[in-house]
C-alpha cells in the first residue's frame, strides 16, 4: 500500500486497516467526525465501525456511540451507523433518511443546534469530553501537520479536544488542495476573544494546515483510490430495503 501521502516518518507505523482502526472506538464513546455535508467526511472507518456494532448488537451486546460532526455527512457515516443502530446521540445536523426516521421515533437522541455554536460549546466543555476524532485529510507533512481535505467544518476543534485521533488519508483527494485552506489559530474563549483580523477579501489570517499532537494519533487509514466500498455498501443496503418486510421494490 503506497504511503507517499504520509511524509511524517514516526506516523507511518500507525497505518492499519479500517477494521483495526474501528476496534479502537469503544461503546459509549463520543466521536467527532470530520465532514461538512458531502465533503471531507471519513468513509472506511465509519463503515467498519458500523459492521462491528451490528455484530455486537446481534450477539446481544449493545454498542452505541455519540456522534458529533460539522454538519450532515453521507451514507457511509450517518447512514451506516444509523442502520446498525449504532448512534445514541447526534449533533448538530442530520439529513440522512435512516437517522431521521430513528430521531423522529425517539430512538436516537438529537441536538439540533446552529452549526456555528458547536465548536465554541465543545471548546468550553458544555458538550462534555470528546473521546475520539476521526478526520479525513489529504496528507500528512513531514513535520506532522495535516493537509485538510475538501472541507474543514469543526475539524480543528475535534483535533484539539479529542483524547485520541484516527486519520483517514484520502489519496483520491487532489494534492492541489494543499495551500487552499486558512486555519485560524488566533481565537480565544470569552472574555479574551478579540475581533478576527480579516478585513480584505484576499487576507489570510491562519495556516494552510491543521496542527495535531502526533502522540494523540493512534491510527491511520490510507484510502488508495476513489472510495468504491460505498457503492458496494449502497447496493447491499438497497437489496436489504427491497427485501425488508413492509417495503416494496
Query: Are 37 and 69 a contacting pair, CB within 8 Å?
Result: no
Q: Cα angle vertex 211, ends 187, 196, to 5°?
A: 20
* Superfamily designation of domain 9-232: Glutaconate Coenzyme A-transferase (3.40.1080.10)
Report how far Cα 79 is from the mean position of its chain's Cα atoms. Answer: 13
The per-residue pLDDT for 35 is: 94
Q: What is the C-alpha separation between 150 and 127, in angstroms, rounded?
A: 26
Which residues in the chain come in under a pLDDT of 50?
1, 228, 231, 242, 244-249
The string of pLDDT tens digits covering residues 101-156 is: 999 999 999 999 999 999 999 999 999 999 999 999 999 999 999 999 999 999 99
| Backbone phi, psi, residue 60, to 5° | 85, 15
Domain parsing of the chain, residue ranges: 9-232
The pTM of the whole model exceeds 0.85? yes
Q: How far apart are CA 157 and CA 138, in angstroms?
A: 18
Amino acid at each position: 500500500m503506497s504511503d507517499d501521502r504520509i511524509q511524517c516518518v514516526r506516523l507511518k507505523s500507525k497505518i492499519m486497516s479500517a477494521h483495526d482502526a474501528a476496534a479502537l472506538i469503544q461503546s459509549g464513546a463520543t466521536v467527532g467526525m470530520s465532514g461538512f455535508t458531502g465533503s471531507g467526511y471519513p468513509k472506511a472507518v465509519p463503515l467498519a465501525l458500523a459492521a462491528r456494532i451490528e455484530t455486537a448488537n446481534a450477539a446481544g451486546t449493545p454498542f452505541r456511540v455519540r456522534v458529533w460532526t460539522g454538519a450532515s455527512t453521507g451514507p457511509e457515516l450517518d447512514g451506516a451507523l444509523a442502520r446498525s443502530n449504532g448512534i445514541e446521540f447526534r449533533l448538530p445536523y442530520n439529513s440522512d433518511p435512516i437517522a431521521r426516521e430513528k430521531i423522529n421515533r425517539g430512538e436516537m437522541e438529537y441536538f439540533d443546534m446552529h452549526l456555528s455554536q458547536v465548536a465554541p460549546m465543545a471548546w468550553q466543555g458544555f458538550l462534555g469530553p470528546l473521546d475520539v476524532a476521526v478526520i479525513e485529510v489529504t496528507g500528512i507533512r513531514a513535520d506532522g501537520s495535516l493537509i485538510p481535505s475538501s472541507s474543514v467544518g469543526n475539524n480543528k476543534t475535534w483535533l484539539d479536544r479529542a483524547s485520541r485521533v484516527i486519520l483517514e488519508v484520502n489519496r483520491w483527494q487532489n494534492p492541489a488542495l494543499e495551500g487552499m485552506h486558512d486555519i485560524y489559530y488566533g481565537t480565544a474563549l470569552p472574555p479574551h476573544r478579540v475581533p478576527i483580523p480579516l478585513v480584505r477579501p484576499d487576507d489570510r489570517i491562519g495556516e494552510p494546515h491543521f496542527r495535531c499532537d502526533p502522540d494523540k494519533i493512534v491510527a491511520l487509514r490510507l484510502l488508495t483510490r476513489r472510495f468504491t466500498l460505498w457503492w458496494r455498501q449502497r447496493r447491499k443496503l438497497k437489496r436489504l430495503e427491497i427485501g425488508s418486510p413492509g417495503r416494496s421494490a
